[in-house]
Amino acid sequence: MQKKLIPWMVYNRENTEEFLTQGAAYEAYGADELYISCDAKDYSSKEEFLKAAGELAKQVDIPIVISCHLERFEDVKKALYTGAKAMAVNACDLRGASGKWEHTEEETSGMKALKEASARFGKERIYLEVKEEEDNKSLITWAEEFVSALIIEKCEGKALSNTVIHGSTPELSAVCNGSKSETQTGNKNLLETQLPFFIKSNSLECQEKKAASEELEAWLGVKEELSEDRTEGIIADYGREENLYTIKKALKQENISVNTYESSIPFSQMKKNNDGLLPVVVQDYKTKEVLMVAYMNEEAYNKTVETGRMTYYSRSRSKLWLKGETSGHFQYVKSLTIDCDKDTLLARVRQVGPACHTGNPTCFFEETYKKPYDDTNPLTVLDEVYSVIMDRKEHPKEGSYTNYLFDKGIDKILKKCGEEAAEIIIAAKNPDSSELKYEISDFLYHMMVLMAECGLDWKDIVKELAHRR
């Protein structure tokens, strides 16, 4: 089983953009999942956090685990509706007023909420988070029926139970000075449960670092903790996103199974042009739109694989250039595919902002020749119609039926959705299905108006449907 390295990101309402940017950067450098948390208990702060979590879920393709205060079933529902893979429920939210775990006849509101959420969404989407130093044996025994994994939070101020990896791979040993940390043995929380678990720690930093490694967070115990069969992964603040890639490489050299992103074909086996460069066709990984064409040398290719962000070789400047370094319009790599002759690379990317320096979404915008043809894409038509609806919402047009619905408000939109749903039922009872397609189309249109009114788009719907496959 491949072990997961999961960055821990604490939400700060003052730096939402930074929060989103860092999440995307962690994904680029090989994060397996993201663990995001917010300690706020007031309603408005939690709502802001969940809104940011939903935005992050749209931007990244790796799973997200949410940790926030649990009071009622709605807290879990809202967390999972952001598109998160799972919610981590803290043990303290299940305890009674005494602050101690007492499994009595009268269940706490947190216990009831957990049980209801588990029944509604499935135990695989609920984790239980406990502190290592606390005796949670009876709590874990009770919760086994309702959760699928544990998150064990290590004692603050202590490194993970470990022996320092001394004299092993350069990447890990270089960040520590070779001193040994006392090994903590046993864990009363884990003795009588077969639940898989994640180790969570915010205090993995070595006491001393070598000058050459100042930019790399010092980690202790990762190797030993990940060697435990039931350990799914390590949740921690990995600091600079590039540290994650370095640690993964080092763990792989230590025979720890981790998911590293490496090229299956070396650059030397690819056929370059007379300048020693490989042409790269860049495509949006979801829309499949061709964004641009550029070139790579071996250094650019290796840098792209290492960092997860597209890096090219500039023929005019004779140097490497990281796409988006000045504009912020990065291209995050999803896949690199070589063609049959091994002389052209296809890069599927997540493009941030426009791909072209002119501000156009793609560099291919100046049409030189075109014959009449139907370019309707059945896979994108719903998104295109939704875009028109959103344009009407943002730029009202006189006489527009869509603007009429927005002006009348949510009650009118809901009424129309109900009417169109009833029309579908009636049409479906008729032997001729031609009428049904019109009623379904009417319903989908009004549903998209409702989505726009309520701040949803097709990414939200598709993300949720994907969880149900």
CB 321, CB 312: distance < 8 Å: yes
**Where do you find CATH 3.20.20.70 in the chain?**
4-157+193-254
**Where do you find CATH 1.10.287.1080 in the chain?**
380-467
Residue 155 has what pLDDT?
67
Query: Which of 250, 160, 248, 256 lies closest to 204, judged by CA?
Result: 160
Measured from the Cβ of residue 217, the count of other Cβ atoms closer than 10 Å reads 19
Query: Which of 299, 220, 290 lies closest to 267, judged by CA?
Result: 299
**Where do you find CATH 3.10.20.810 in the chain?**
267-351
User: In Å, how far are 117, 289, 460 from 383, measured between CA atoms?
Assistant: 31, 14, 12
User: In Å, how far are 48, 51, 80, 204, 385 from 45, measured between CA atoms?
Assistant: 5, 10, 17, 29, 34
Residue 164 has what pLDDT?
26
Longest dimension (CA), the chain: 80
Q: Which CATH class is domain 267-351?
A: alpha beta
> What CATH number does the domain located at 380-467 have?
1.10.287.1080
Residue 58 has what pLDDT?
87
CATH superfamily of 4-157+193-254: Aldolase class I (3.20.20.70)
Helix boundaries (H) for 367-433: 381-394, 401-408, 410-428
Tell me which amino acid residue 347 is: A
CB 111, CB 94: distance < 8 Å: yes
By CB atoms closer than 10 A (0-12, 13-18, 19+), residue 139 is: buried
Three-state DSSP class for 466? helix
Helix boundaries (H) for 228-354: 241-253, 298-307
Consecutive 10-residue averages of pLDDT for the chain (469 residues):
93 91 91 95 92 92 95 94 94 76 72 95 95 84 94 68 35 40 45 84 49 40 75 87 82 86 93 96 93 98 93 96 94 95 97 94 94 78 93 94 96 97 94 87 97 91 77
